[in-house]
Amino acid sequence: MLLCIDKLKKSYGAGTALDCISLEMGAGEVLAFLGPNGAGKTTAISILTGLIRQDSGDIYYGGELFNPDNGAHKRTIGVVPQHNNIDRDLDVRMNLKVHGLLYGMRGSFLDRRIGEVLALTELASQANKLANELSGGMKRRLVIARALLHKPKLLYLDEPSAGLDPKSRRDLHTLIYKLNANEGVSIFCTTHYIEEADALAGRVIFLDSGRIVADAAPAELKADIGKFAVESISGGVPAYKYFAEYDEARTYMASLSANGATMRIREVSLEDAFINKTGKNV
């Protein structure tokens, strides 16, 4: 098992950020960690990457108890934070070189690896450009390239496409697919774009008030509430009802038509499943 979390707990004063969460993640998985603001996502990522310490519970990488002070353990993971914390006064190649040196990489091995990640993230043509001159999408690629430099087995992506335009977001998704399918990198992703989780992840976890309330494939989470949704708006108030069959949804919609509501039938989304489980928006 690549990652095992056993009864992880973290509190801040009287508030509980994580309430004894446990999960396992196998090699090759793409897992999306979803929750409303304040659910505990950032706290979980910070503990799993060694930035803060848990109150209780254990974390194992490859069966070994995680020690944030152990360099070998830290090399198992790569971290792409929510904000682009690159050195904007250095060029792309130097940003990568500094990171490599911090991880004990040297000489021709480091140079070769820099070339590999530049090619993988399609940044080779930008190698000598100052980081500050890159577009938002290219800066995001640089942060990912840096996180991949030491060949981690597990890559943490915290809000990977936050602030990106639709084209850059789609390009980033393509890169994530490639990292997982071609490079064998496992992905642990938090995101507020629920459609992003649906598109990328083979498994989704819903976190609410520090607890895991659902853990399944996106299709399973959606099927739990139905296949079709009737979305109606009456008096400015939206309402949703879910059905397994399209004809059931049509019959229900017909029963509402006399009320003058605005209605439509659509397929159930992962957002529907999330709100159904938590009662909240992402």
Conformational region of residue 281, where left means phi above 0, alpha means psi within -120 to 50, and beta covers everything else? beta
What was the pLDDT predicted at 281?
64
Q: Alpha-carbon distance 256 to 231, whole Å?
A: 11
Maximal C-alpha separation, the chain? 76
Q: Which superfamily does CATH assign the domain made up of 3-221 to? A: P-loop containing nucleotide triphosphate hydrolases (3.40.50.300)
Q: How many CA atoms lie within 13 A of 81 on its CB side?
A: 9
Report residue 82 as tokens. Answer: 């929510």
| Cα–Cα distance, 226 to 104 (Å, whole number) | 52
Q: Which residues pair with 190 in a beta bridge?
A: 33, 158
Chunked into runs of 10 residues, the chain (282 residues) has average pLDDT values of: 96 91 96 88 92 96 92 90 88 95 92 95 94 92 93 92 86 91 93 89 94 96 95 83 94 77 89 87 60
Structure tokens at 99: 């990171």
Whole-number Å distance between alpha carbons of 121 and 168: 13
Q: How far apart are CA 47 and CA 126, in angstroms?
A: 34
> Domain spans of the chain?
3-221, 222-278
pLDDT of residue 258: 63
